[in-house]
Structure 1
Amino acid sequence: MSRILLRSGKDPFEVVPPELALELYPRGLWGRNVGNLVFTDAMHKIVSVPGAEVVSNSFLSERPGITREYVARVDEEFDHFVIPLANAFRTSFMGNLRRLTQVIEGLSIPVTVVGVGVAGGVGSLDRPLPQLTDRETATVQRFVRAVLDHSATIGVRGEFTREYLATLGFGDEHVDVVGCPSLYRDGADLQITKRAAAITPESRFTMNLSPYVKMMGPLSVRHAEKYPHMVYIPQGDDTLELMMWGKEPENVRRSGTLPNHLEHPLYQSNRMRYFVDTTTWMDYLAQQDFSFGTRIHGNIAALSARTPAVVLAHDARTLELALYHDIPHRMVPELDASVDAADLYEWADFDGFNRAQRANVDRFSAFLVKNGIEHIHEPGKANPEYDERLAATPFPRPVETLMTNDPVARLEAIERVALLRDVAGPDAWRARFTPHHAVPHHVAPGAPTLAPTIASRAVRRVRSAVEPTLRTAAARVLRATGRR
């Protein structure tokens, strides 16, 4: 039996409650953006042929503190290290890339990288190739050389990345353009058709957004008012905090149009859902008429669930995948303020996507075989028990906002608050009070006026420490519930 170590936040079958999922790794076990689960879970399924054991590395191979003992264990216990990546050639990922390189260089087993891409970011639509320093460029070169020392080729997500690696000296003999593994879960059978005749105010569809794309705030408010059944599906860790705990980001503007505060109409009407597992996420999307927005993997999740989706391409990383897979997309700089879901749906044509799917799957399958990886789309290697097992796994429900009227979701919120008090309640409040004279004192018998004086002074100090917080919290709750 082969054993594969897979770079991912968690095993797709592992049930992790959202409260815990948020606190793991750096700001979520998925690494700040739950969209990372979409392509890592897909890769897990693709390589899970009968008889193979696929193990998640929980991102340990790129965390600080890697030891020789860890690398030796990987080399001894596994037959292959498969590394799905996204837009990894960026400044903020250089530390991870260096640590991954150290691990790869210490291995003797095959290593395969799938779906790595350019950085994206502001201005990248005009300049798609990463603008890195000499040191960062050397880090990328060292990483790619290490991968190629352990594999036939490196799999990149699109033409921008292929062009970038060519500038570093890695030609077509080193690079295969394979797109994103998220869209290969079901092979060439994945086809998209429009189920609804049109998007109307009665339609049920979803929106996703990147908070740094300015037009998405006003768009979210306008759509919240026009389409009462539209639901926003966030992917960032800060929004999960807001939904579970009511914790707004620092310096948030409550009058702002982004759905990142308690008074936003999407929060108030409980039309936000956060998924911590791709199975529940895709099951939900499969029941929707449409998905649109700036999150590439949010829309790819919809397409994987056979739901029509349109990408609003705002940078090179989103555009690169939209172009490769022929996903209907519109360029954000070319959109005006009146852009509307109904118009996007009517405009979208999925014939190109459907035609490209077969060729893309064949190209991806050839890449895997070239690099010595068995996969479920090969003849005789299908694994129908995989989906049956996923369907039987009791994943947590999607997180709703604190404004929910759903009885189960409300009970979950109540249990969450009770857990919070059990963990940090009394001690946290007591820690806010420090007596003026912090030494032991004794009240002499027959001195009845002393204790009340000390007690009243203590009460005043507790009130001065706690009441501003209580008043702020109470006011926020009153605003959020509409009661003053």
Structure 2
Amino acid sequence: MGKIGFVGIRDRGNVGSKENTGNFLHGFAARQIVGGYQEIKRLDTDPATLAKLREEITHLGFVAATTIPVNREPEFTKKHAELADFIEALGLPVVVFGLGAQAPLNATVEDAWVNENTLRLMNVLAAHSQAIAVRGAFTAELLLKYGIGNAEIIGCQSAFLSRRPDFRFPEICKGFADTPWDRTLVSITNISQELEYVVPAMKSGATHIGQSAHFEYQLKEHPPVAALDDLPDETRALLTKGHSNCFAKGSIDFSEYQDWVRKNFQQFYNVPEWLDFIRGRFDLALGTRFHGNMTAMHGGVPALWVVHDSRTQEFCDHLGLPHAQLSTFQNGTPIREIIGEHLDSSRFNAVYPKNYARFYDYLERQGVTHRLAPPLQDM
């Protein structure tokens, strides 16, 4: 069996760095699952460097995350051409982990387009991969539209972090819909769209777990101020449009928000610390951050995913994760009623053994060493 050299999403970051810290779970899970690996820190195509690398590894592992932006060409896609060049020059089989597209919730494959650099990387991956592990049907259909037919729907490897074929969704305690907010984890993507649960969470002392919450991270580090304008320019520069709208309209009082952040905000740059913080302290996780909820699940906390884009939707559909549409919270339905109706683990538990077996088979066919226990025989 072969040894992997990893590129793509890492498993940790420098404390305070301006990254999506949720992706570290994505990278951490891939590394925990494979048997042996090394990190490839530079995409060096020097022939001597490549020759040495081919002696050390048998496969290239690409932890992909939301690599395919739909109908956009953001700055990061310029690096896709560099990665494609490296894969072609190295010439080793590629094992893809968690490739996904990022699109609005109601986007259609028919109307979607992928920029040139990203499309070139997808074709190079297809040529060097026995199969490309993708997050869900939307991503698979999008690749097929461009003639890439070897996508395999796996979901996200973070779902299999336990490495157990009999993993079960955390037990939902009796009366969970009445769980006190101070024992609730909340994750937020766009604060102005999530006010219906952010405001009660703030007022009741829920814990806010940030992923790209760079403004909150700096706000917590800074001594308290009387008004937003008293913050340093470099901190106010981190305000999102959603923050600015909420404070300007009075949807959220800045002083109350600052107090909440200073007392109840956390953002983790490595997964073990994140899991240690969660275990045994919370009864419920709620929010739009996929990996924030996934980390909660592995920390023993029942989670309800709030679906706001195609990425979260296809994850939840394939893996059977409990979820509710963001629009459900925005139409006036009481929060506890939404939680009571949608926080149901039965589908996840029913489909998990087959999803696990599919991922196990995917790695076996790739010929890489891994640490997954064999699937259950009776499924």
1:244 corresponds to which residue?
221
Specify the alignment match of 2:356 in structure 1.
361
Counterpart amino acid of residue 21 in structure 1: V
Q: Is the counterpart of residue 156 in structure 1 residue 151 in structure 2?
A: no
Contact (CA 8 Å) 2:3, 2:59: kept in 1 or not? yes
Structure ranking higher in strand proportion: 2
Give the Cα separation in 2 of the matches to 1:241 and 1:131: 39
What is the DSSP-based 3-state SS (H/G/I as helix, E as strand, rest coil) of the residue aligned with 1:311? Answer: strand
- The corresponding residue for 1:84 is 63
Amino acid in the other structure paired with 2:305: V
Letter in 2 for 1:306: G
Q: After TM superposition, list the pairs within 5 Å mapping 1:222-237 onto structure 2.
A: 222-225=200-203, 227-228=204-205, 230-236=206-212
Q: Percent identity?
A: 23
Pick the aligned partner of 2:367 from 353, 368, 372.
372
Partner of 1:390: none
Please say if residues 287 and 305 of structure 2, whose CA atoms lie closer than 8 Å, have aligned partners that are also in contact: yes
Number of positions where the alignment pairs a residue of Structure 1 with one of Structure 2: 348
Alpha-carbon deviation of 1:344?
3.7
Aligned residue number for residue 4 of structure 2: 4
CA 1:84 to 1:332, structure 2 compared with 1: closer, same or farther past 3 Å?
Answer: same
Q: Residue 131 of structure 1: CA displacement?
A: 6.1
For residues 42-61 of structure 1, what are the alpha-carbon distances to aligned partners after superposition, in whole Å with 9 as ceiling and x for unaligned?
0101002xxx3x22335x44
Distance 1:203 1:214, change over 3 A: closer
Change (3 A) 1:285 1:110: same
Structural mapping, 1:338-353, within 5 Å: 338=332, 341-347=335-341, 348-353=343-348
Point out the structure with max Rg over C-alpha. Answer: 1
TM-score (norm 1): 0.65
Evaluate the alpha carbon distance shift between residue 129 and residue 71 of structure 1 in structure 2; reply closer, same or farther with a 3 A threshold. Answer: farther
Output one character per residue of 1:374-406: Cα deviation in whole Å (capped at 9) or x when no partner: 2212459xxxxxxxxxxxxxxxxxxxxxxxxxx
**Could you tell me how far apart the structure 2 residues matched to 1:21 and 1:55 are?**
22
Q: Which residue of 1 aligns with 2:270?
A: 277
Amino acid paired to 1:86: A
For residues 258 and 336 of structure 1, the distance between their equivalents in structure 2, rounded to whole angstroms, comes to: 14
What code does the residue aligned with 2:306 have? L
- What amino acid is the match of 1:359? K
Residue type of the partner of 2:95?
T
2:95 is equivalent to residue 118 of structure 1: no
CA offset at residue 67 of structure 1?
A: 4.5
Compute the RMSD of aligned alpha carbons. Answer: 2.9
Shift of the 76–351 alpha-carbon distance from structure 1 to 2, 3 Å rule, reads same
Separation (CA, whole Å) in 1 of partners of 2:218 and 2:39: 25
| 1:110–1:150 Cα contact (<8 Å) kept | yes
Question: Where do residues 35-54 of structure 1 align in structure 2 (5 Å cutoff)?
Answer: 35-48=22-35, 52=36, 54=37
1:211-230 deviation per Cα after TM superposition (whole angstroms, max 9, x unaligned) = 2x6322453122222x33x1
Partner in structure 2 of residue 305 of structure 1? 299
Q: 1:264 to 1:337 in 2, by over 3 A?
A: farther
Displaced runs of 4+ in structure 1, greater than 6 A?
Answer: 257-262
Higher relative contact order (CA 8 A, sep 6+): 2
The alpha-carbon deviation at position 283 of structure 1 amounts to: 2.5
Shift of 1:311: 1.0
1:255 alignment partner, SS class: helix
CA distance in structure 2 between the aligned counterparts of 1:166 and 1:9, rounded to whole angstroms: 24
Aligned partner (choices 109, 112, 119) of residue 129 of structure 1: 109
| 2:165 maps to which of 177, 188, 199 | 188
Q: Distance in 1 between matches of 2:220 and 2:124?
A: 42
- Residue 128 and residue 328 in structure 1: after superposition, are their counterparts in 2 closer, same or farther (change >3 A)? farther
The CA deviation string for residues 150-197 of structure 1, in whole angstroms up to 9 with x for no partner, is: 2211111100011111111122xx111100000111132221221352
Partner of 2:226: none
Corresponding residue for residue 333 of structure 1: 327
C-alpha distance in structure 2 between counterparts of 1:376 and 1:79, whole Å: 17
* The one of 240, 247, 252 aligned to 1:255: 247
User: What is the rounded CA distance, in whole Å, between the counterparts of 1:214 and 1:299 in structure 2?
Assistant: 20
Q: Secondary structure at the match of 1:214?
A: helix
Q: Which consecutive unaligned segments of at least 5 residues does structure 2 have?
A: 224-231
1:264 is paired with a residue whose SS is helix
The answer on whether the counterparts of 2:196 and 2:329 sit within 8 Å (CA) in structure 1 is no
CA separation of 1:177 and 1:202: change in aligned 2, threshold 3 A: closer
Q: Which runs of 5+ in 1 are unaligned?
A: 381-484
2:122 is aligned, of 139, 144, 148, to 144
- Taking structure 1 as reference, are residues 258 and 142 closer, same or farther at Cα in structure 2, changes over 3 Å only? farther
SS in 1 for 2:371: coil
2:199 paired residue number: 221
Matched residues in 1 for 2:222 and 2:46: separation? 40
